Amino acid sequence: MPVEVATRVLSADHDATLAAARALGDGGLVAFPTETVYGLGADATNGTAVARLYAAKGRPRFNPLIAHVADLAAARRLAVFNADAERLARAFWPGPLTLVLPKLLGCPVSQLATAGLDTIAVRVPDHPVAHDILAALGKPVVAPSANRSGHVSPTTAAHVRGDLDGRVDLILDGGPTSVGVESTIVACLGAPVLLRPGGLPREDIERVLGRALADDSSPSGEAPLAPGMLGSHYAPKTPLRLNARSVNAGEVLLAFGADAPAGAKTLNLSVSGDLVEAAANLFSHLRALDAVGASAIAVMPIPNDGLGEAINDRFARAAAPRP
């Protein structure tokens, strides 16, 4: 159990953003909004702060963190960009894309944050609060999703507080996040490989690359290229029943589209069948239905194109057997 601290929650205005940068510079842990989900930040160059971050989340230390920077110029001080990485960064940064790249010689990010790997995950978030913190600090910030390890990712400051109150120094409240699922992770170490479907659809990436993205072929839960992609992750307490077209007694329903079966407590990801809206609602609806204490959450089928790939990935993990 990490040392209990007093957690401040501040509305993410200009002064709070500067206070956040100062707290990070002093080795503190600060949760802040990005366009995908809330992140729990620590100064990536401060090994002690990074160690505190792993403890606060209860995160296994073999699972490396994403370094967040303000712009491409700052990313070039951490990692080596091949031609594909260059093209993707120019097309999609700032935005919900993380690139896994060879670590630059002399990269200032703590070894603990990269779990001793010779690669590093880098991202430039597209959110004014995240950007202003990174610009004010002038250093990379490692920021996993601001939840306890294994829990559903937070899309509001209240979600963060529920998981991490007493474990982090500061939470900046910037309202609900717009994308709602974590960034897409692509490794550019040779031919580009999709490590985690996320907030940037595969189709957009393939259009810019001019070819198909390979999938991470390592067996789920064993030694995936993205070590955090363990089978059971993003897990609510209530079991999920996927591809449900009807609701059983005792179940609640996570619906999608206009023709949801009636009769149970229901939250709809998108009545109009919009996958962007569905991604934005995904984690808050899962948390709300989990709190009901139903026998299961019945989940209606979601198409697998666009953001549907990331949504279905999170459902599959949430429904996977628990370790």
Residue with Cβ nearer ligand TXA (186 or 253): 186
Residue with Cβ nearer ligand TXA (110 or 268): 110
Distance of alpha carbon 112 from alpha carbon 122, whole angstroms: 15
Residue with Cβ nearer ligand TXA (134 or 185): 185
- Residues in contact with ligand TXA by the rule CB under 6 A: 34, 36-37, 39, 63-66, 98, 100, 114, 117, 119-121, 123, 125, 143-145, 182-183, 185, 195, 225-229
Residue nearest to ligand TXA (CB): 228
Which residue's structure tokens are 């991604």?
279
Neighbouring C-beta atoms of residue 250, cutoff 10 Å? 10
Residue nearest to Mg ion (CB): 145
- What are residue 250's phi and psi, to 5 degrees? 90, -10
Q: Of these partners, Mg ion, ligand TXA, none, which one is at the site of residue 242 (CB under 5 to 8 Å by kind)?
A: none
The DSSP bridge partners found for residue 10 are 172
Binding footprint of Mg ion, residue count (CB under 5 A): 1
Helix (H) / strand (E) element for 313: namely helix 308-319
In whole angstroms, how close is the CB of 287 to ligand TXA at the nearest point?
16
Residue with Cβ nearer Mg ion (44 or 298): 44
Neighbouring C-beta atoms of residue 272, cutoff 10 Å? 10
Which residue's structure tokens are 């501040």?
10
In whole angstroms, how close is the CB of 28 to Mg ion at the nearest point?
20
CA 108 distance to own-chain centroid: 23
Range list of H helices, 66-172: 72-75, 83-92, 128-137, 157-164
Residue with Cβ nearer ligand TXA (251 or 313): 313
CA max distance for the chain: 60
Q: Going along the chain, which residue ranges are E strands?
A: 8-11, 30-33, 38-43, 66-68, 97-102, 119-123, 141-142, 170-173, 184-187, 193-196, 214-215, 240-241, 251-255, 266-268, 296-299
Q: Of these partners, Mg ion, ligand TXA, none, which one is at the site of residue 143 (CB under 5 to 8 Å by kind)?
A: ligand TXA
The DSSP bridge partners found for residue 145 are 39
In whole angstroms, how close is the CB of 177 to ligand TXA at the nearest point?
9
Query: Encoding tokens for residue 23?
Result: 């707290």
For residues 137-156, which are near Mg ion according to CB under 5 A?
A: 145
In whole angstroms, how close is the CB of 148 to Mg ion at the nearest point?
10
Residue with Cβ nearer ligand TXA (71 or 261): 71
In whole angstroms, how close is the CB of 143 to Mg ion at the nearest point?
10
In whole angstroms, how close is the CB of 40 to ligand TXA at the nearest point?
8
Q: Is 183 in the site for Mg ion (CB under 5 A)?
A: no
Distance of alpha carbon 86 from alpha carbon 92, whole angstroms: 10
Residue with Cβ nearer ligand TXA (123 or 285): 123
Do the beta carbons of residue 97 and residue 145 sit within 8 Å?
no
Residue numbers of the site for Mg ion (CB under 5 A)? Answer: 145
